[in-house]
Amino acid sequence: MSKKQIKLEARDINAYYGDFHALKGINVAMEEKTVTAFIGPSGCGKSTFLRIFNRMNDYIDGFKTEGEILLDGENIYAKNVLVDELRKRVGMVFQKPNPFPKSIYENVVYGLKIQGMSNKAALAEAAEKALHQAALWNEVKDNLNKSALALSGGQQQRLCIARALAISPSVLLMDEPASALDPISTAKIEELIHQLKEQYTIVIVTHNMQQAGRVSDTTAFFYMGELVEHAKTKTIFTNPKDKRTEDYITGRFG
Amino acid sequence: MTNSTRNRIKDKAFQVFGIFCMLIGLVFLAALLINILSEGLARIDWDFLTSLPSRRASRSGILTAWAGTLWILVLTSLIAFPLGISAGVYLEEYTKKTKMASFLEINIANLAGVPSIIYGLLGLEIFVRQMGMGSSLLAGAMTLSLLVLPIVIVTTRESLKAVPQTVRQGSFALGATKWQTTWLQVLPAAFGGILTGVIMSLSRAVGEAAPLVVVGALAYVPFVPSSPNDEFTVLPIQIFNWTSRPQAEFLVNAAAAIIMLLLITFLLNGIAVYLRNKQQKKIKW
Ligand SMILES: Nc1ncnc2c1ncn2[C@@H]1O[C@H](COP(=O)(O)OP(=O)(O)OP(=O)(O)O)[C@@H](O)[C@H]1O
Ligand SMILES: [Mg+2]
């Protein structure tokens, strides 16, 4: 692999929902400005692992994490870390679109407003830029004050992407961002991921093998809470080391 | 008879029974309304609304009573809403779901069912006597605040619960703090529901006489209260007072005052329903 800096690193991550051992001893490193795809059968822990990186699991009763996540070399689970500051650096797009019950514009600028930005012109400019990036601008530019809940599912998801991009995080976590989208919007999102790679480190969960093949540099295969294999995407798809990986990508289970 | 025909008969029977029950309620309500309207409507005029109470029924008005009711409404809102909404937000958004929390939850719901006269006794002891407020508007409003507080807390919590968890997650994921999430996303989304609840609670408070009588609200107040420390009367007490007089003319006055009280209650409920519909149109999850 190239000599890029390590952006995100998981060290001996174990996670539990109560007694259920959801993630088992995971070690993985992701270089900056790359796209990593998480694949694996339903329920194997992809979403759980993704949420580890911005500590969204903190809100689940009975959830417990062991191990370290290093973001730029610093452990985000250290005692003195402020989670809200962490999340300004690590953005997230959820599996189901979850726009706020406000206008399209308010959705996009929310992240900036809570950081104290109040200049109207600057906010409007940032909103336009983010909506362009998320390939939504042309569809909504004439009714930015319309309720976000009135958008279609695919549009809502792109709005959520725009919302996450507006605060310029350095890492973007995406949990099946295209599962609710039609092929055209999906293509737009994939195109977007290609462009975002210039600035962002991206982790994307996907059930779509072709998508993983198209957008990612490396792919991690999870199975029953374990990280089975993490390698260059091409390697995973053409020459997997583990029998389970091979079975999965050739569609023998999952 | 087959099983399914028997079930159908049961179904029909229950429908008929249901309609019957509903009619009983409606008939009584209609009878009450017609009775009151026919008796009191003619009595309502500008003089009636703007006159002080008097020993003579024909010169007597409800100025002090509705002014007192208005004072009580405003003061109770000012006291009970911030307290109740804050408590509801705290319980719903900030406390962990522990045994203690569910114990509190059950008991707050129970408090909503405590007879209002008990709150009156509490108010008499604490506000009127211990805190030395006397039988003032403030003491009355604080007593009614105690009465509506459980309702405000419960409806606030219900409205907050109705806001999907995904909204909070979306906000947190953008780096918002708990405070920002609560103030900028959750409360605005729950606003319609909370407002409906608090207005409903006010329409309960506006009809209460018993706790205020205990607190010492007077039946005869010959002046319009001008500060929260003044003594006062309210519409329900005025009505109660008039209905217990032997002269028929006072009964007419009472009927007219009841119409005004009903008007206020309907107005409040109307506002609540309007706000709820408006909110439902705006936010469809
Ligand atoms: N809140 C929770 N409480 C308890 N168990 C949970 C919770 N969320 C997930 N799990 C369990 O943890 C395991 C991993 O779930 P996770 O959502 O991470 O899977 P996933 O790989 O994202 O699946 P999918 O592809 O279907 O989204 C599953 O067995 C699931 O049942
Ligand atoms: Mg998932």
DSSP string, chain B: --HHHHHHHHHHHHHHHHHHHHHHHHHHHHHHHHHHHHHHGGG-SHHHHHPPP-SSGGG---HHHHHHHHHHHHHHHHHHHHHHHHHHHIIIIIS---HHHHHHHHHHHHHTTS-HHHHHHHHIIIIIIIT---SBHHHHHHHHHHHHHHHHHHHHHHHHHTS-HHHHHHHHHTT--HHHIIIIIIHHHHHHHHHHHHHHHHHHHHT--HHHHHHT--S---S---STTSB---HHHHHHHHHTSSSHHHHHHHHHHHHHHHHHHHHHHHHHHHHHHHHHHH---
Inter-chain contact A110–B174, Cβ cutoff 8 Å?
Answer: yes
Q: Give me the CATH number covering residue A75.
A: 3.40.50.300
Element (H, E) at A48: helix A46-52
Residue type, B88: G
How many of the other CB atoms lie within 10 Å of CB of A148? 23
pLDDT classification of B223: cutoffs 50, 70, 90: confident
The two beta strands, A20-31 and A74-75, are: unpaired
Q: Is A43 in the pocket of ligand 1 (CB under 6 A)?
A: yes
- pLDDT tens digit sequence for A92-132: 999 889 999 999 999 999 999 999 999 999 999 999 999 99
Task: Please state the rounded mean pLDDT for residues A222-238.
Answer: 95
Nearest CA in chain B to A159: B170
Question: B192: which chain A residues are within 8 Å (Cβ-Cβ)?
Answer: none
Minimum-distance ligand 1 atom for the alpha carbon of A60 = 1
ipTM of model: 0.91
Q: Is A64 in the pocket of ligand 1 (CB under 6 A)?
A: no
Ligand nearest to the CA of A94: 2
Computed over every residue of chain B, the mean pLDDT equals 89
- Kindly state whether residue A149 falls inside one of the protein's structural domains: no
- pLDDT tens digit sequence for B44-65: 888 888 888 877 877 888 888 8
- Kindly state whether residue A133 falls inside one of the protein's structural domains: no
Taking the centre of ligand 1 as the mean of its atom positions, its distance from the CA of residue A24, in whole angstroms, is 13
pLDDT attached to residue B247: 84
pLDDT classification of A253: cutoffs 50, 70, 90: low
Question: A92: which chain B residues are within 8 Å (Cβ-Cβ)?
Answer: 173
Taking the centre of ligand 2 as the mean of its atom positions, its distance from the CA of residue A104, in whole angstroms, is 26
Q: What number of CA atoms fall less than 13 Å from residue B173's CA on the CB side?
A: 32
Inter-chain contact A114–B185, Cβ cutoff 8 Å?
Answer: no
- Kindly state whether residue A209 falls inside one of the protein's structural domains: yes
Q: Is A48 in the pocket of ligand 1 (CB under 6 A)?
A: yes
- Kindly state whether residue A211 falls inside one of the protein's structural domains: yes
Whether the per-residue pLDDT at B220 is higher than 90: the answer is no
Inter-chain contact B174–A163, Cβ cutoff 8 Å?
Answer: yes
Q: Whose CA is nearest to atom 17 of ligand 1?
A: A47
pLDDT classification of B217: cutoffs 50, 70, 90: confident
Query: CA B31 to CA B142: how far, in whole Å?
Result: 35
Inter-chain contact B172–A87, Cβ cutoff 8 Å?
Answer: yes
Kindly report which listed range (A126-140, B15-29, B160-174, B204-218) carries the lowest average pLDDT score.
Answer: B204-218
- Kindly state whether residue A85 falls inside one of the protein's structural domains: yes
Task: Please state the rounded mean pLDDT for residues B13-26.
Answer: 92
- Kindly state whether residue A111 falls inside one of the protein's structural domains: no
Question: B180: which chain A residues are within 8 Å (Cβ-Cβ)?
Answer: 114
CA dihedral A74, A78, A79, A82 (to 10 degrees): 50
Whether the per-residue pLDDT at A141 is higher than 60: the answer is yes
pLDDT classification of A189: cutoffs 50, 70, 90: confident
pLDDT attached to residue B284: 59
pLDDT attached to residue B285: 58
Residue type, B271: I
* Number of domains comprising chain A: 1
Residue ranges making up the domain that contains A218 = 6-103+169-249
pLDDT attached to residue A87: 96
Which residues are CB-neighbours of A169 under 8 A, at least 6 positions away? Answer: A87, A88, A89, A90, A91, A200
Q: Work out whether the CA dihedral A128, A130, A133, A135 comes out positive or negative.
A: negative
A198-226: burial string, b at 16+ Cβ within 10 Å, e else: eebbbbbbbebbebbbbbbbbbbbbbebb
Question: A147: which chain B residues are within 8 Å (Cβ-Cβ)?
Answer: 282-283
Query: Residue A147 has what DSSP assignment?
Result: B
Query: CA A54 to CA B171: how far, in whole Å?
Result: 13
Inter-chain contact A87–B164, Cβ cutoff 8 Å?
Answer: no
Whether the per-residue pLDDT at A1 is higher than 60: the answer is no
- Kindly state whether residue A228 falls inside one of the protein's structural domains: yes
Task: Please state the rounded mean pLDDT for residues A31-58.
Answer: 95
- Kindly state whether residue A66 falls inside one of the protein's structural domains: yes
Whether the per-residue pLDDT at B244 is higher than 60: the answer is yes
Is B115 in CB contact (< 8 Å) with chain A? no
pLDDT classification of B88: cutoffs 50, 70, 90: very high
Q: Is A10 helix (H, G, I), strand (E, B) or coil?
A: strand
Computed over every residue of chain A, the mean pLDDT equals 92
Is B185 in CB contact (< 8 Å) with chain A? yes
Strand partners, A92: A173
Of A59, A111, A147, the CB nearest to B174: A111
Q: Is A110 helix (H, G, I), strand (E, B) or coil?
A: helix
Query: CA B212 to CA B65: how far, in whole Å?
Result: 13
